[in-house]
Amino acid sequence: LLTELMDVNAARRTPRDGRQVVLEAMIESALRSAALAEQNGLGHDKIVISTKVSSVRDLVSVYRMLAARCDYPLHLGLTEAGLGAKGIVATTAGLAPLLLDGIGDTIRVSLTPKPGGDRAEEVRVAQQVLQSLGIRHFEPQVISCPGCGRTTSTFFQKMAEEITEYIQEMIPQWRTCYPGVEEMDVAVMGCVVNGPGESKHANIGISLPGTFEEPKAPVYIDGEHSVTLKGEGLVEEFKEILFDYVKRTYGAHVG
């Protein structure tokens, strides 16, 4: 098929770029295969189309053209995305523009695992892509600042990590007992500059003291100041407040 299309392209008065011909061959191959499957008795509603593409730009181009030319469900994924951060970034860069345009029915993430690595990481990345785009929610989102000159202490970083781990530990139970909790936003901020604002915009948030700030941490619930925490038990106190908020807010949906 590719040779055929290359010959047709070569005969054009103004030949197209070779990359475009290759992409057209991929699309034509997929559509012909689907048509052949239907001719042999497979139902139209039993077919899902996927093309194996390892370039982000090609992935976006191919699926946009496929979406314009057929109504089959499309399975999105960047093939051979790579290892670690590189693979995650490339996959996200390829999937995001398509999903935001409403293209794609299922997705996959194909990462090269580290030796002894966890294949479930691919599932977690796929979930985070969908959640970051606001398409589906799988667990509460922890919003935290990156840190700057106002946050010389690493306490807020450790707390953000601990709250994230706490939520991940509790979410299987919460998801069953408190429907809707997956859409909750929790803010863990590191200083008074951005902390109160971000905390007020989250469902529940805490603004930790930055450098030279008074050692206290106001907690905001649904945009209103609720309580101010101090001392070594601050993290555990915030967990208790968080759990109480979950029970009060999402427990009302049960029954």
Residue 187 shares a structural domain with residue 114: no
pLDDT tens per residue across all 255 residues of the chain: 778 878 786 888 888 887 888 899 999 999 999 999 999 999 999 999 999 999 999 999 999 999 999 999 999 999 988 889 999 999 999 999 999 999 999 999 999 988 888 889 999 999 999 999 999 999 999 998 777 666 656 777 888 899 999 999 999 999 999 999 999 999 998 877 777 788 888 999 998 876 656 668 899 999 999 999 988 889 999 999 999 999 999 986 555
Residue 74 shares a structural domain with residue 177: no
- Domain boundary residue, one of 76, 102, 132: 132
* Residue 206 phi, psi dihedral angles, 5° rounding: -130, 135
Q: Which domain holds residue 166?
A: 141-253
What is the predicted pLDDT for the residue at 253? 57
Residue 34 shares a structural domain with residue 125: yes
Residue 106 shares a structural domain with residue 149: no
What is the predicted pLDDT for the residue at 145? 79
- Domain boundary residue, one of 132, 162, 191: 132
What is the predicted pLDDT for the residue at 139? 93
Residue 92 shares a structural domain with residue 164: no
Instruction: Give DSSP secondary structure letters for 78-127.
Output: BTT-EEHHHHHHHHHHHHHHHHHTT--SEE---EEPPTT--THHHHHHHH
- Domain boundary residue, one of 100, 132, 164: 132
Residue 106 shares a structural domain with residue 69: yes
What is the predicted pLDDT for the residue at 199? 85
Residue 80 shares a structural domain with residue 181: no
Residue 216 shares a structural domain with residue 167: yes
Residue 128 shares a structural domain with residue 187: no
Q: What is the CATH number of the domain that holds 110?
A: 3.20.20.20
User: Cβ distance 62 to 27 under 8 Å?
Assistant: yes
Residue 20 shares a structural domain with residue 117: yes
Residue 190 shares a structural domain with residue 233: yes
**Number of domains into which the chain is organized:** 2
Residue 66 shares a structural domain with residue 160: no
Indicate the helix (H) or strand (E) that contains 76: strand 75-76
**pTM for the whole structure:** 0.82
What is the predicted pLDDT for the residue at 211? 62
